[in-house]
């Protein structure tokens, strides 16, 4: 479940990424896309567009928490994800990304869910991006490695 970072990724067996979406928009479509399909797990990657658009981080975290709660209510195990670095804008978003990711980790701990660290996987690798926000194939390979280290998707 995610935005354009998820949409551009060919790895997930079921991909619910939608270009340009904020966590609020993701939360609104969550039940319809995740529920009723027999999924055991859902990886929730959201917050990049929220950061780019200046959405308050408390709102972003509330939306992510809502998706975690909805997943559990649907009988699907949620896995949260830290957002990757945003290199667009000469690094001006990096402090906000770090702060949001710290909040994501705290939220995951509070809710007892696993967290995939996509930030560390892509930190220092602006060459893995096509435009500072979206990834090339080698960026997605780094994400796949980070995911497999936390949760076996096979």
Could you write out the DSSP letters of every residue in 73-141? HTT-EEEEEEPPP--TTTTTTHHHHHHHHHHHHHHHHHHT-EEEEHHHHHTT-GGGBSSSSSB-HHHHH
Whether the pTM exceeds 0.75: the reply is yes
As a whole number of angstroms, the distance between CA 18 and CA 122 comes to: 21
- Between the alpha carbon of residue 121 and those of residues 38, 140, 154, the distances in Å are 30, 10, 20
- The count of residues in the chain is 154
Q: Which residues pair with 117 in a beta bridge?
A: 82
Half-sphere exposure of 73 (CA within 13 A, CB side): 9
Residue 154 CB: number of other CB atoms within 10 A?
Answer: 5
Provide the Cα torsion 146, 84, 17, 34; round to 10°.
Answer: 60
Q: CA-CA distance, 97 to 5, in Å (whole number)?
A: 15
pLDDT of the chain, 154 residues: tens digit per residue: 999 888 888 776 788 989 999 999 999 999 999 999 999 999 999 999 999 999 999 999 999 999 999 999 999 999 999 999 999 998 899 999 999 999 999 999 999 999 999 999 999 999 999 999 999 999 999 999 999 988 766 5
Q: Which CATH topology does 4-30+41-148 take?
A: Rossmann fold (3.40.50)
Domain boundaries, given as residue ranges, for the chain? 4-30+41-148
Rounded to an integer, what distance in angstroms lies between the CA atom of residue 114 and that of residue 78? Answer: 8
Residue 41: half-sphere exposure toward Cβ, Cα within 13 Å: 16
């Amino acid at each position: 479940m995610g935005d354009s970072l998820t949409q551009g990724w060919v790895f997930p067996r079921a991909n619910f990424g939608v270009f340009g979406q904020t966590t609020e928009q993701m939360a609104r479509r969550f039940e319809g896309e995740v529920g009723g399909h027999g999924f055991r797990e859902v990886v929730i990657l959201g917050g990049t567009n929220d950061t780019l658009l200046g959405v308050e981080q408390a709102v972003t975290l509330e939306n992510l928490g809502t998706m975690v709660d909805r997943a559990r209510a649907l009988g699907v195990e949620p896995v949260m994800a830290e957002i990757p670095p945003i290199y667009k804008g000469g690094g001006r978003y990096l402090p906000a990304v770090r702060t949001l990711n710290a909040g994501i980790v705290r939220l995951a701990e509070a809710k007892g869910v696993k967290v995939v660290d996509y930030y560390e996987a892509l930190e220092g690798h602006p060459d893995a991006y096509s435009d500072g926000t979206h990834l090339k194939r080698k960026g997605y390979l780094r994400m796949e490695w980070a995911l497999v280290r936390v949760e076996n998707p096979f």
